[in-house]
Structure 1
Amino acid sequence: MRRFIMAAMLVASSALAHEPLFDADGYRVAHYRAPVRQPPAGVGRIALAAAAQLVPDRDAIFIDVLPAEGGHREPDGRWRLASSHDSIPGAHWFPDAGRGQPDPAIAGDFATGVVRLTGRARGRMLILFCRSDCWMGWNAAKRLRSMGFANVWWLAEGTDGWRDLGLPLAPVQPEGGTAT
């Protein structure tokens, strides 16, 4: 019996050590800060210099999906932020929308928010990002493509690359609920 219990504990600890990186639908669900080699199927990768030439909300809708670090979303939809968040000027911030399996309320706010921003035009250019080496922008781009948006782009360098290029970042507030 003792050997059985020890063997069961080894199997259980081994399973925990090998947490899956992707779910059955292909979304990254763990270890989000890791190199990302290519965009999701049907999504283009936009060069940082090309993105910097676009005017947010006129030429493209820039969507930041970085989590609210140290913050959380209240049941009524308001975000409680521990600190401010700087993003590409003119970007719309949907915290946590890039998780592989986002909270249903966050996923719903993301979907309705993007539909609102595009005016239901599925062909509007959408640029999704997070930070460099971050799978959350990738996940969000994949999600919007699966929702039928046809002109989805992924900015792999995210806010890190934008800042490294010497371009300004600006404070943003979360979409889908007021921040406090």
Structure 2
Amino acid sequence: MFALVATGAQAAPGDDALFGAHGYRVAYYRAPVPKPPHGVGRIAPAAVALLRPDIDAILIDVLPAEGGHREADGRWRLARERPSIPGAHWFPEAGRGDLSPANDRWFHDGLVRLTGGAKNHMIITFCLADCWMGWNAARRLRALGYTNIWWLAEGTDGWRDLGRPLINARPEEG
């Protein structure tokens, strides 16, 4: 313990502080993510670039709306723009470990609308590199019975590093 204090290092929180009862990451979202959730594949930015959004795959961005909030009527008030992958559907807050009932319903209903209820439609979740929110969203979709889920671990950072353009996203309605 003395070595930790002397060097200024902090002990990492235990797994019980990082994950909730249902297995979703609930704290310290910006950290390396070692592997995709069970039953979910990992996809590279270059592979995503070959796909046509909403035709070959549905792209789901779950980065929170920094400084923004959702009004009672479901509309989002944004404090800053979210540069995202063209054709992606932005569900701010849907990558949190604990979702409010309203955000959970909004995310679920949005996916049903986007997939037409087809549980085997290819869905790719993401946020930023080293971010557990895309992982949480992929795990959540798997728990909802979707079977063709992919996680873009590098998120919009990997897309940008590939030299691909980002566009300002708007939160999904609902």
Matched residue pairs, number?
Answer: 161
**Aligned-partner Cα distance in 2 for 1:138–1:64:** 11
**Aligned-partner Cα distance in 1 for 2:130–2:137:** 14
The 8 Å contact of residues 64 and 94 in structure 1, kept in 2 or not, is answered as yes
Query: What residue is the counterpart of 2:71 in the other structure?
Result: 74
Q: TM-score when scaled to structure 2? A: 0.90
**Aligned-partner Cα distance in 1 for 2:95–2:64:** 8
Task: Report the Cα offset of residue 176 of structure 1.
Answer: 3.0
For residue 100 of structure 1, the aligned residue among 97, 100, 105 is 97
**Aligned-partner Cα distance in 2 for 1:126–1:76:** 27
**Aligned-partner Cα distance in 2 for 1:83–1:34:** 23
Unaligned runs of 5+ in 1: 1-16
**Aligned-partner Cα distance in 1 for 2:153–2:173:** 24
For residue 59 of structure 1, the aligned residue among 56, 61, 64 is 56
**Aligned-partner Cα distance in 2 for 1:65–1:153:** 14
Query: What residue is the counterpart of 1:118 in the other structure?
Result: 115
Query: What residue is the counterpart of 2:126 in the other structure?
Result: 129
Can you list the C-alpha shifts for 1:118-173, whole angstroms capped at 9, x where unaligned?
A: 00011000000000000000000000000000000000000011001110001111
Query: What residue is the counterpart of 1:156 in the other structure?
Result: 153
**Aligned-partner Cα distance in 2 for 1:169–1:152:** 22
The answer to whether residue 65 in structure 2 is matched with residue 86 in structure 1 is no
Can you list the C-alpha shifts for 1:101-131, whole angstroms capped at 9, x where unaligned?
A: 0121111100000010000011000000000
Superposition RMSD on alpha carbons, in Å?
1.2
**Aligned-partner Cα distance in 2 for 1:102–1:131:** 19
**Aligned-partner Cα distance in 1 for 2:165–2:103:** 28
Query: What residue is the counterpart of 2:8 in the other structure?
Result: none
Task: After the TM superposition, list the runs of 4 or more consecutive aligned residues in structure 1 that deviate by more than 2 angstroms.
Answer: none
SS at 2:109's partner residue? helix
